[in-house]
Structure 1
Amino acid sequence: MIAFTAAEIADITKGRLAAEPGITPGSVVTDSREATPGSLYVAKPGESADGHDFVAEAFERGAVLALVEHDVTDSAGRTYPAVVVQDSVLAMGALAAEAVRRIRASRAATGEPLTVIGITGSAGKTTTKDLLAGILGAEGATIAPQGSYNGEVGVPLTVFKAGPDTRYLVIEMGATGVGHIRYLAEMVRPDIGVVLGVGTAHAGEFGGVENIALAKGELVEALPAGGTAVLNLDDARVAAMASRTSATVLGFSAQPAKDGKQAAVQAVGVELNAAGSPEFELFLPGGSAGQHVSARLIGAHHTANLLAAAAAAHAAGVPAPRIAASLSAQTAASRWRMERTERADGVTVINDAYNANPESMRAALRTLADLGQGRRTWAVLGAMLELGPDSIREHMAVGTQVVRLNISRLVVVGREARSLYVSAVNEGSWGNECVFAETAEEAYELLQTELEPGDLVLFKSSNSIGLRHLGDRIALPPQAPGTAAGTATEGSALL
């Protein structure tokens, strides 16, 4: 982390200093439970709790300074050492922006400057981030987000882990409205920007898909003329972003070349191997021969993520053979993204329930059908949230797809997804082929009773629905009659 004194923090954030000016925190946390000796604790208001209520706990754990929106006192009436600002989250952003500026300045004379890569898109951001970090980590000191830290809090927390030795800084950028990615891009000033796709996730919040495209394109608009915009040419809305940037455009595609014209970064001869992972020849600019990639990620939809990571790594100067070798060696680095578990009794569990939107739901179901040839397949599905007025229609389309893909059994969990169940029934899935469960606990009891050796079961829902926890429970070894079932590490599986 770049070291800031309390006085510098007050100056950068335009805050009021209520502490000794020379206090210099060694880390930044927003969760009081993560505070360690020397931490700066950022107290931010939340939906269910106010961080100011936990300032005392943070100091008990070793915090030496707080970033707060009002003074906080202890039981004796003493004010905790703090910088008082108008908005603690915006103050974090200002501090992160200065951290990036200082790292760039410190590396300017080394011959290996800081390279910042921003990644956005409606699906695949975290997987692409993980792949790219895996490639770059072998080339130099690399900082990338933990999990899906991709918002106005997560991005600064990622930046604060970087220091003068950082060669590559990978930033995942999410948004729920126009202007959000612009704010994040202005904070970190990316040299390379990757746009994966424009889907219907958060369409309700954005006010439509066109606004999603407007927001995602803010990343390439922020790139400098000497930067590189990595664009998915298989998505028409992303391809159109080429006109919105002054940076060099590096397009990637998994589709066959059109009119003899191949994308600069191209996957040729894409096939799924026996494990359901994509294999292809990777072509990058400047090379006449392709590099074979045999991925270890499950699902054809990961081809786009592999290509995006390859393109960004190429733009960062990594040689093609090392890119292909890394892509072929990496497994999923983040949980609940097509996470495969082979139970001892022969049941295969694929837990892809970290999040869901219509595009990722369709991709996961196609993968289930591909992998399930000759096996009994189960789709355990929950709601896709934040789809706005298209929600019922999109859920019904998924129900129809399940039937047309000949998925053996469908379990729909939770009332938010009931239209998915209804559409599957209307499409011709009757009897015990299609079941509606009010809660994840009902679904758990059904699966515990009816899963058989050789079955393949997929779990998929939006994050807050929580089916990933149900997937974790089912991935555990079957419980003997009369024994307590295992529990997921993050809590209840009830909806």
Structure 2
Amino acid sequence: MIPLTLGEVARVTGGQVHPGSPGTEDLRVTGPVVTDSREAGPGALYVARRGEVADGHDFVDAAARRGALAALTNRVVEGLPCVVVPEDPDRLSARPDRPPYDAVTRAFAALGREVVDRCAAAGGLRVVGITGSSGKTSTKDLLAQVLPALGPTLAPEASYNSEVGVPLTVCRLTEDTAYLVAEMGASGAGHIAHLTAIAPPQVAVVLNVGSAHLGEFGSRAAIMEAKSELVQGLVPDGLAVLNGDDEALVETMGGRARDVGARVVLVGLGERADLRATEVVTDERGRATFTLTAPGLGAPEPGLRVALQLVGVHHVGNALAVAAVAHEWGMPWEQIAASLAAATPRSRWRMEVTEREDGVTVVNDAYNANPESMRAALQSLAAMRRAEGRTLAVVGGMLELGADSDAEHAGVGALAARLGVDHLLTVGEVARPAATAYQQGGGARVSSVADRHEARALLEEELRAGDVVLLKSSRDSGLRVLGDELAGVTD
């Protein structure tokens, strides 16, 4: 992080330095900003957030033992200098236009914005914000590999896309950073607006509006409203990169982008897209190759052929969005195509392919799931079928779908049957409607088990050379662990 004194942190956050003895305000944060006391080190600032399970204030001593310089708190804690931000009970009451974040969370956001502003003043920092019901992390990983050709780039670790993850990321900025990739997620109204206030984007990428968190939002229209906060947070003359294959998305968000003085570029497979993918094919491992065309944006005719190393045809849309961002910031088209082709998978449990020595292919895509990403994963599985071997789909529950849960799981089972998946294995009660629909749709073989342990026992007996097995579920359904077990991954 750009070094700040405790006095400067207090000024930015509206807090007070404790103890108020001479020299305390002049102490300078030179280490990382952390929310986990175990990650503290010399010169660190420990942000003592109150979580659902634990109160960070209880771990200030632990942070001090690891060398932390100070803590950001909402009450005085002895043993370590603190910047104390008072709690405002009114801010904790739920309001439709403002998430009920506590004082430390709001102060953390203010600190992050200060770091962004200082970096922007020092070197003209450029920020791209990414949102969507699926694909955010994969797109972030692509940008993190493409943009460094233009200058020093900072992207989030893992899926740091929340009111905690975004400020953690921006606090890693330095004066040399030229590009910031900010992944922005939401589980309620006002969440993305909060994040754009921390890191106002010059470019906003909206990949899709699907069914993730449908149970929390209540409707896709509400999800659309939440995602639109990203384009509404664009700086003047910014750029909105929108999925041109989603007409409702384009009509709604394109208008809102223009309302704030931003421009719009559409990406997709359809003719309305400014930046298109044509002649899309997949290889035996499910990796897509396509022709990138954008004559209206100056791309060479008849287009550039791009062969992705990422598994899944759905990555074509992600790659197009990345191409639009890179073009906006001056990268030549030939370099964009070459950089996309060179990019490799970066994040765990996202179409993570392991070829076992016994000839079985394990596809672990169980970091998270919603109906859209589940359909994409099943289509990728079908594309990976080998001449001698079967396709098996191990499906766990998609969570947070509310009243639509049974119908959406049934849709997954019906699709698996239509795609010719040879064996559908559902894990847990939430996913059971998929088994029923698969069977009704003429699926070849179906099994249902209670948990991943039963699933593993069945699969160890079932799998043979040539088989491709997909594991897909929401994170809390636990199939990513089973995927690691089947693949022999121990880290």
Letter in 1 for 2:44: S
**Contact conserved, 1:252 with 1:265, CA < 8 A, in 2?**
yes
Letter in 2 for 1:415: E
1:407 corresponds to 2:412: no
**Contact conserved, 1:71 with 1:80, CA < 8 A, in 2?**
no
Question: Where do 5+ consecutive residues of structure 1 fail to align?
Answer: 74-78, 108-112, 477-486, 490-495
Shift of 1:423: 2.3
Query: Which residue of the other structure, out of 259, 262, 268, is the alignment partner of 1:253?
Result: 268
1:383 corresponds to 2:397: yes
For 2:442 and 2:339, locate their aligned partners in 1 and report how far apart those are by CA, in whole Å. 45
Letter in 1 for 2:69: V
- What is the aligned partner in structure 1 of residue 412 from structure 2? 398
1:22 corresponds to 2:26: yes
In the superposition, relative to structure 1, how do residues 346 and 193 fare at CA in structure 2: closer, same or farther (>3 Å)?
Answer: same
Letter in 1 for 2:211: T
Instruction: Provide, for residues 76-116 of structure 1, a one-character-per-residue CA deviation record: whole Å limited to 9, x for no partner.
Output: xxx42111113111111000011111111111xxxxx2111
What count of residue pairs does the alignment treat as equivalent?
462
Q: Map 1:100-179; keep pairs closer than 5 Å.
A: 100-107=116-123, 113-179=124-190
Q: Alignment partner of 1:292: what SS?
A: strand
For 1:49 and 1:427, locate their aligned partners in 2 and report how far apart those are by CA, in whole Å. 47
For 2:184 and 2:153, locate their aligned partners in 1 and report how far apart those are by CA, in whole Å. 17
- What is the aligned partner in structure 2 of residue 493 from structure 1? none
**Contact conserved, 1:470 with 1:488, CA < 8 A, in 2?**
no
**Contact conserved, 1:469 with 1:488, CA < 8 A, in 2?**
no
Letter in 1 for 2:68: A
Deviates more, 1:234-243 or 1:417-426: 417-426
1:237 corresponds to 2:256: no
Q: Alignment partner of 2:309: what SS?
A: coil
1:274 corresponds to 2:284: yes
**Contact conserved, 1:114 with 1:166, CA < 8 A, in 2?**
yes
- The two structures have a TM-score, normalised by structure 2, of 0.92
1:474 corresponds to 2:479: no
Letter in 2 for 1:242: G
Letter in 1 for 2:156: P
For 2:415 and 2:293, locate their aligned partners in 1 and report how far apart those are by CA, in whole Å. 33
- What is the aligned partner in structure 2 of residue 222 from structure 1? 233
Shift of 1:225: 2.8
- The two structures have a TM-score, normalised by structure 1, of 0.91
- What is the aligned partner in structure 1 of residue 346 from structure 2? 333
Instruction: Provide, for residues 196-243 of structure 1, a one-character-per-residue CA deviation record: whole Å limited to 9, x for no partner.
Output: 000011011112100111111111111123211111111123211111
Q: Alignment partner of 1:295: what SS?
A: strand
Deviates more, 1:329-338 or 1:368-377: 368-377
**Contact conserved, 1:116 with 1:169, CA < 8 A, in 2?**
yes
**Contact conserved, 1:411 with 1:437, CA < 8 A, in 2?**
yes
Instruction: Provide, for residues 355-413 of structure 1, a one-character-per-residue CA deviation record: whole Å limited to 9, x for no partner.
Output: 10000001100111111143211101100011111111101111111122111111111
For 1:397 and 1:410, locate their aligned partners in 2 and report how far apart those are by CA, in whole Å. 13
Shift of 1:288: 3.3
For 2:386 and 2:222, locate their aligned partners in 1 and report how far apart those are by CA, in whole Å. 39
1:447 corresponds to 2:451: no
Shift of 1:488: 5.0
For 1:271 and 1:39, locate their aligned partners in 2 and report how far apart those are by CA, in whole Å. 49
- What is the aligned partner in structure 2 of residue 36 from structure 1? 41
For 2:82 and 2:424, locate their aligned partners in 1 and report how far apart those are by CA, in whole Å. 54
Letter in 2 for 1:274: E
Shift of 1:465: 1.2
Instruction: Provide, for residues 110-153 of structure 1, a one-character-per-residue CA deviation record: whole Å limited to 9, x for no partner.
Output: xxx21110001111011111111111112210000001000100
Q: Map 1:190-201; keep pairs closer than 5 Å.
A: 190-201=201-212
For 2:442 and 2:283, locate their aligned partners in 1 and report how far apart those are by CA, in whole Å. 31
1:65 corresponds to 2:80: no
Instruction: Provide, for residues 39-64 of structure 1, a one-character-per-residue CA deviation record: whole Å limited to 9, x for no partner.
Output: 10111111121111111111101111
Deviates more, 1:442-451 or 1:273-282: 273-282
Letter in 1 for 2:122: S
Query: Which residue of the other structure, out of 277, 298, 305, is the alignment partner of 2:318?
Result: 305
Question: Where do 5+ consecutive residues of structure 2 fail to align?
Answer: 88-102
For 1:39 and 1:352, locate their aligned partners in 2 and report how far apart those are by CA, in whole Å. 35
Instruction: Provide, for residues 137-181 of structure 1, a one-character-per-residue CA deviation record: whole Å limited to 9, x for no partner.
Output: 122100000010001000001101111100000100000012111
Q: Alignment partner of 2:29: what SS?
A: coil
Q: Map 1:413-452; keep pairs closer than 5 Å.
A: 413-429=427-443, 433-452=445-464
Q: Alignment partner of 2:4: what SS?
A: coil
For 1:361 and 1:135, locate their aligned partners in 2 and report how far apart those are by CA, in whole Å. 27
Letter in 1 for 2:187: T
Letter in 2 for 1:445: A
Aligned residues with identical type, % of pairs: 50
How well do the aligned residues superpose, as a CA RMSD in angstroms?
1.3
**Contact conserved, 2:286 with 2:380, CA < 8 A, in 1?**
yes
For 1:465 and 1:398, locate their aligned partners in 2 and report how far apart those are by CA, in whole Å. 16
Q: Map 1:294-373; keep pairs closer than 5 Å.
A: 294-373=307-386
- What is the aligned partner in structure 2 of residue 89 from structure 1? 105
**Contact conserved, 2:207 with 2:318, CA < 8 A, in 1?**
yes
For 1:226 and 1:355, locate their aligned partners in 2 and report how far apart those are by CA, in whole Å. 34
Q: Alignment partner of 1:297: what SS?
A: strand
For 2:72 and 2:471, locate their aligned partners in 1 and report how far apart those are by CA, in whole Å. 40
Shift of 1:22: 1.2
Query: Which residue of the other structure, out of 222, 232, 239, is the alignment partner of 1:211?
Result: 222
- What is the aligned partner in structure 2 of residue 484 from structure 1? none
For 2:284 and 2:51, locate their aligned partners in 1 and report how far apart those are by CA, in whole Å. 46
- What is the aligned partner in structure 2 of residue 482 from structure 1? none
Q: Alignment partner of 2:189: what SS?
A: coil
Q: Alignment partner of 2:344: what SS?
A: coil
Shift of 1:273: 2.3
For 1:243 and 1:429, locate their aligned partners in 2 and report how far apart those are by CA, in whole Å. 44
Shift of 1:29: 0.5
Letter in 2 for 1:21: E
